[in-house]
Structure 1
């Protein structure tokens, strides 16, 4: 069997079109005596002139009902023939067509006196109905010759009385009767079929031969038309001679003599349908149930996040016609999927809330309302909700009712904004007035108001006013999220005005960044990374926003005194990054040995042409602008043996020291950058609680979507320590660098204290962030006792290994503390409990920072952006009291300490790494 190809009609997103070519045929004119007897026939255009003006209308029908409005040809004056040659497009696509679709084509004549089926001064000249799908359910295509039923309007029904193709007569003639066979007509029909194959490419084209055949066919067609007309006349005469009354029309319709045709007629309408490369077979378009997300977007201040359960349907007595108890096939009730059930409120409840709020709309009485003890407890419960907790309609009404009383509570602002129906103009106007009376709020609430669910301009401007009170050091902690919040601002990218014209957040960030170089440095590089992100997840509209903000930032620098120098420094940093990217890319792609690669990098850095040996004037390091570099130290360069071959480069600083960095290409460091930023923030929060856990979050900066800088901290991985020291490796490593024979473990007390505190801090933080893929290679230990994690490729609970523990607490870490029964280990547990409790108090701030990152192109957030905040919230266990939360965390520590699977995974990882080496 030969291979074949076809397409389905449901995938054909193309409008239905038809070309009306011309009208062929002739008819016997009325006798002059008839026209004298019936003057109304005298004024019909086709009776006054052989090629009178006609126009055609096309309408699509299905199931004996019209699917579209009629489409009409333009006016055209005819001379020798009725020829339109005009394409008409119907307002429907092939994908939406049912299988019983028909084209109802009607030719309209003109009559000043009107008539049967007349539309104004137009009466049907003739009609024809063409099915769009043939008997094999294939779409009709190419030229079609349609029989025109004289003086009838195309009906378009499934069983049409005006079919385009007349059924052939079956059975032989009567005995003794001779049937006249029109050989010319049969030959023309055969040629028509061949011409159609020729047009569809089924018959090869030969230009000179085709021209001869076409001219001969035209002559034969004219002769056949005359012969056919004479044949019809003879048949009519013979029919009348056999006793058929003159009052009938060919013995077929039995119409009155006043409506009978003037004589035999045979008109054929030539049309053309679109051609396709493959046959189009009908396939019913299955409409999927619309998702809830396709409904009108409502912010969290206007809707509940929790979807309602589907309503239960109770069948009353006598509803089912067959007396059935259930909704079977014989039942008159059917269940219909309605996505609005999960997102829309009950109309009765919505109206009730509007009536309730209308009583408090003007606020005259509400200003003096004070809650009683019971209502005050309910309000306090609402105020304690986390940012991800939805408010019920009753809670929203309660907050709105006591809005004036709550203006003294800074925690209540976000709950009030969620309670307002911002689509109600009068209610939103009053809500904005209430905002002006509110007490100062915390920065975590301001960050929540800048999230994706709050789009009111006044609300976002109120949040920005709170951020103005934060100093530059605090603002730097949230700058990464504030840059992402620009996606939720109303920033125009089409006109030539400033992008920050309608965005209070953009104006604020540009103003602060232009006046503080530390902020400006990071603000510039955060913008550059987003401008460089050309992935599908980012979208071109976001890139336009960030480009406009970056442009306005540069323009602001030009206007400020000293701003031009700042702009030159940023451009020099970009050139410096480009130079490092060039050598890093070449090293990564080369197939040389590590020693050869290191020599190439050293030679490249020492080349004066690259302007890295001497950097004059000193250049602020993009990774840490407080450090100014004056040159490179090529002798300290190292190329690491890994898949991406990161390069360690040491730069000389202006204070005479060296600052080593790692430069890596081929990897997106934005997820690691986010985790380090959150760890830095948590360290600040813990220190505000007088809890210094000696955390040492190294600096990291993504300079593009595939390159970045990382601070190099002199340290050793637990895997390397284990391979070097056999018994109690971590303690042996620390004792070698910090010995003290008078101490209980032979280790300086300060070093042991740093190790215990840093272990507790990182255990708590990595548990809250759900950091995965923890093994001895990404647990590092500095000689002074600082313990820290690296490589945050898996967060929010993701882990490539099965049965991964919730928290990484290795045996080597506990042994270095003196074992699970030692006093340092007891202190470690106490530090864990204190840190977990302190961070739970600041859970709103951390959750709001993650909510601002839902649209950031962070791999582990992008997988499930709607669940990212909930995953972090689950680790805080906010539903528990402080004592219950500490007991829960105690179980996490004990389960991890006694687990066998992590130990097996560490040994397998050690074996695999040794095999690769």
Structure 2
């Protein structure tokens, strides 16, 4: 089939319009004897003059009911013909029209004495009902000739008695065949149809020929108009003769005039109208209205939804309603019940209102003090994690002692959860209490910015607390704060300011324009979200981030050095685009690795690409504290993997080289999140005076399928094992850091760095549930820093069966001197200290993951409602500190003695050797 382009009517937000052109036709005037005998006919304007004043009304009907009020033409005085040539717009859009829509068009005459269907001094001259959609469900367009039913008002019904296109009547009567047929009229009708096709572009235009045809048509039309009255008179005489033959009393009939018939002669009036034309055919499509809300309750965070919300209601099929067995019988009846999604029992809600009404005004509550028993209950409530759901009794208790709890910074989030924000009086008082609360921690402020809390005052309070953080601390949470913009009240309308109602957007833009470090990362986080067009995000999210990015750029322009900052960000984007081009070409080529590497070197060395020399120096997007002056093509390497990442070394203003990895075809946002959490955990451990020598390299996703990562010189455990046979990790460290007098023949600092970094990464990867841990993903730097790479599987996901909860390989333990050595015992001690310290900050880490549930992270997107719970499970918050340490020790011992990880590592080694 040939392609057919069309538009659907539900997307056509344009008012229904029609142009009333003119009224054409003739009728035999009434005899003077009839007018003298009938005063009511004598007063009608059309009986006095063939060009009397008329006006037209148009009204939309559907389902035999009017949809709009009538719209009428302006007054116009006619001289030679009844011609309005006026467009009328009706107060309804095409997008809301049903399939059975009609235009009820009525031509009104004037008579001071009224008459049948009269409206004041107006009586119907004639009417026509014009359908808006044809038999093919396409919207009518262009010029239309509507048959005017004389002395009738257009009814607009579905089974109308005044159709604009009356159906041709079939007749077998031989006498009716004697009616005179006008050849000119037939030719004019044929020409009208051709003119309509010509106007719609179905007949090609030839200017000189078209002019000849138009002039000929005008002459034929004038000639037809002159003979129309004679034609009607001949037809009337023939009808009279046929009637006389039938009745046998033609003489009596012709001598006695009939004064009861107001129209003794036939009439044929046509109303010419024009409908709007569109570039494509418009096909009817019904407008789908969004389903009504199930309830007025606020949406909960994904971490709480699986606990609070009831499961979706099931449709129960009763007798006579088509279920599975009788799908072809009867009709399915769905009844909308707004209480289906209610999570509160109506009786419990009433009880809560009655209880809180005693403490609504807070006159007595301000001095209310809890006794020892209640104080213990409140302390238990304050110790709950962010994912814990308060019972109605606990909420009532927190509300009752809210003034007492204003001194406890932990209690604010519990208080906000206890407020019924749909109750205006209660919410107003809650906002007043917020102003009296003591300063809260950052983790609680982040929780208040999650999807659970919708009140703008609460979110503004959290933003105010974040304002006390310096740039370095804010940088640790910036990724989550950008995600929190999805839960702000930011309008998606084009003419609305993005930051008008969003305190968080205003805060982030204000801080980003004051600090280039924050502005750099803020810009790239926004750009990735603007580009993400996956179905999980939707256009509204893209619109929100584009508006925030626009406001950010606008605010930059207002600063003295803002234009230069914006120029640097645009140069970064151009630099990324150049690298993306060569990376995509290398990935898709089928050349050898040597040839690919040579091609990249030539590309980077080409002065046209402006990478050999970067002047002025440009801040590196991955690390804005480093300014690059050019690329070093000789240090370029293309790695042998499925995506062929490119290692590129850049010269910096300090004279050193900064190597990076650039990769296309992979979404690095999950790796970026894990590295950010590792960086945060390193900061938290150092605040506890526990430096575990972690080395979280930097990762920046520049789009949904490309990104940069810092290249750290190191060797994988797989590569080390293939080079050294006995105790490969220890042999590798001895080669780079020999010391005969040191422990195990190593420098003491190197072994200490190795033990600490192993402990830190073992605990962190266990908490985050990092999977797919084989020897190629375990890296060791020459100075003893151990670290992990490739975080494609987190939150307990692993492509291999029976994967261990913690990756502690035999090679790692042997490098410490074995499981009985003092260094291994020190390793376990570091693990216990790190686990205990991170459990103290579990609320902060859980809140960061809660803000990322809608970030389109692959392993979070699979089960967003369980992502936070999986991290919480690894913290074992239900245990006290001593039991939690015993729990971690069992995990370490189980993984050390497990046989399956060793077998998996051997299988992975064989597979990699086979691929090579």
> What TM bracket, shorter-length normalisation?
0.7 to 0.9
CA contact 2:431–2:458 (8 Å) conserved in 1? yes
What's the TM-score, normalizing by structure 2? 0.78
Shift in Å at residue 410 of structure 1? 1.9
Match of 2:729 in 1: 730
Q: Encode CA deviations 1:231-254: one digit per residue, 9 max, x unaligned.
A: 4532563476479899xxx9xxxx
Shift in Å at residue 682 of structure 1? 1.0
Match of 2:523 in 1: 528
Shift in Å at residue 763 of structure 1? 2.5
Greater CA drift, 438-447 or 7-16: 7-16
Match of 2:115 in 1: 115
- List aligned pairs for 1:642-653, cutoff 5 A: 643-649=644-650, 651=652, 653=654
Shift in Å at residue 845 of structure 1? 0.6
Give distance in 1, aligned partners of 2:220 and 2:859. Answer: 71
Match of 1:290 in 2: 291
CA contact 1:44–1:109 (8 Å) conserved in 2? yes
Shift in Å at residue 535 of structure 1? 1.3
- List aligned pairs for 1:20-31, cutoff 5 A: 20-31=20-31
Shift in Å at residue 660 of structure 1? 4.3
- List aligned pairs for 1:359-374, cutoff 5 A: 359-370=358-369
Give distance in 1, aligned partners of 2:760 and 2:881. Answer: 18
Give the 3-state SS of the residue equivalent to 1:646 in structure 2. Answer: strand
Shift in Å at residue 913 of structure 1? 5.3
Q: Is 2:770 the partner of 1:771?
A: yes
Shift in Å at residue 434 of structure 1? 0.9
Aligned residue pairs: how many? 879
Give distance in 2, aligned partners of 1:85 and 1:727. Answer: 99
Give distance in 2, aligned partners of 1:522 and 1:864. Answer: 33
Q: Is 2:266 the partner of 1:264?
A: yes
Give distance in 2, aligned partners of 1:884 and 1:386. Answer: 18
CA contact 1:717–1:779 (8 Å) conserved in 2? yes
Give distance in 2, aligned partners of 1:92 and 1:501. Answer: 33
Give the 3-state SS of the residue equivalent to 2:179 in structure 1. Answer: coil
Q: Is 2:309 the partner of 1:307?
A: yes
Match of 1:45 in 2: 45
Shift in Å at residue 148 of structure 1? 1.7
Give the 3-state SS of the residue equivalent to 1:409 in structure 2. Answer: coil
When residues 71 and 341 of structure 1 are mapped into structure 2, their CA distance, relative to the original with a 3 A threshold, is farther
Give distance in 1, aligned partners of 2:236 and 2:495. Answer: 77
Q: Encode CA deviations 1:223-273: one digit per residue, 9 max, x unaligned.
A: 563244224532563476479899xxx9xxxxx986844643222223344
Give the 3-state SS of the residue equivalent to 1:22 in structure 2. Answer: strand
Give distance in 1, aligned partners of 2:577 and 2:671. Answer: 23
Match of 1:156 in 2: 156
Give the 3-state SS of the residue equivalent to 2:149 in structure 1. Answer: strand
Give distance in 1, aligned partners of 2:347 and 2:496. Answer: 46
- List aligned pairs for 1:427-446, cutoff 5 A: 427-446=426-445
When residues 162 and 476 of structure 1 are mapped into structure 2, their CA distance, relative to the original with a 3 A threshold, is closer
Runs of 5+ unmatched residues, structure 1: 251-255, 559-563
Q: Encode CA deviations 1:346-370: one digit per residue, 9 max, x unaligned.
A: 7887677556544433222332445
Greater CA drift, 438-447 or 338-347: 338-347
When residues 575 and 3 of structure 1 are mapped into structure 2, their CA distance, relative to the original with a 3 A threshold, is closer
When residues 171 and 531 of structure 1 are mapped into structure 2, their CA distance, relative to the original with a 3 A threshold, is closer
Match of 2:538 in 1: none
Shift in Å at residue 644 of structure 1? 3.5
When residues 391 and 189 of structure 1 are mapped into structure 2, their CA distance, relative to the original with a 3 A threshold, is farther
Q: Encode CA deviations 1:127-172: one digit per residue, 9 max, x unaligned.
A: 2223444556565554433322222222222322222333444343
Greater CA drift, 433-442 or 228-237: 228-237
Shift in Å at residue 768 of structure 1? 2.9
CA contact 1:633–1:652 (8 Å) conserved in 2? no
CA contact 1:661–1:709 (8 Å) conserved in 2? no
Give distance in 2, aligned partners of 1:259 and 1:849. Answer: 88
Give distance in 2, aligned partners of 1:60 and 1:573. Answer: 59
Match of 1:54 in 2: 54
Give distance in 2, aligned partners of 1:840 and 1:465. Answer: 26
What's the TM-score, normalizing by structure 1? 0.78
When residues 165 and 299 of structure 1 are mapped into structure 2, their CA distance, relative to the original with a 3 A threshold, is same
Give distance in 1, aligned partners of 2:130 and 2:803. Answer: 67
Give distance in 1, aligned partners of 2:501 and 2:99. Answer: 52
Greater CA drift, 221-230 or 341-350: 341-350
Match of 2:64 in 1: 64
Calculate the aligned-residue CA RMSD, in Å: 5.4
- List aligned pairs for 1:693-712, cutoff 5 A: 693-700=692-699, 711-712=710-711
Q: Encode CA deviations 1:488-528: one digit per residue, 9 max, x unaligned.
A: 6679999999998987667777887899xxxx342132233
Give the 3-state SS of the residue equivalent to 1:21 in structure 2. Answer: strand
Q: Is 2:231 the partner of 1:233?
A: no
- List aligned pairs for 1:594-673, cutoff 5 A: 594=597, 610=613, 637-641=635-639, 643-649=644-650, 651=652, 653=654, 660-662=658-660, 664=662, 671-673=670-672
Give the 3-state SS of the residue equivalent to 2:60 in structure 1. Answer: strand
Give distance in 1, aligned partners of 2:863 and 2:401. Answer: 37
CA contact 2:104–2:155 (8 Å) conserved in 1? yes
Shift in Å at residue 203 of structure 1? 5.3
CA contact 1:837–1:886 (8 Å) conserved in 2? yes
CA contact 1:304–1:391 (8 Å) conserved in 2? no
- List aligned pairs for 1:137-176, cutoff 5 A: 140-173=140-173
Match of 1:253 in 2: none
Give the 3-state SS of the residue equivalent to 1:539 in structure 2. Answer: helix
When residues 757 and 365 of structure 1 are mapped into structure 2, their CA distance, relative to the original with a 3 A threshold, is same
Give distance in 1, aligned partners of 2:701 and 2:162. Answer: 72
Match of 1:561 in 2: none
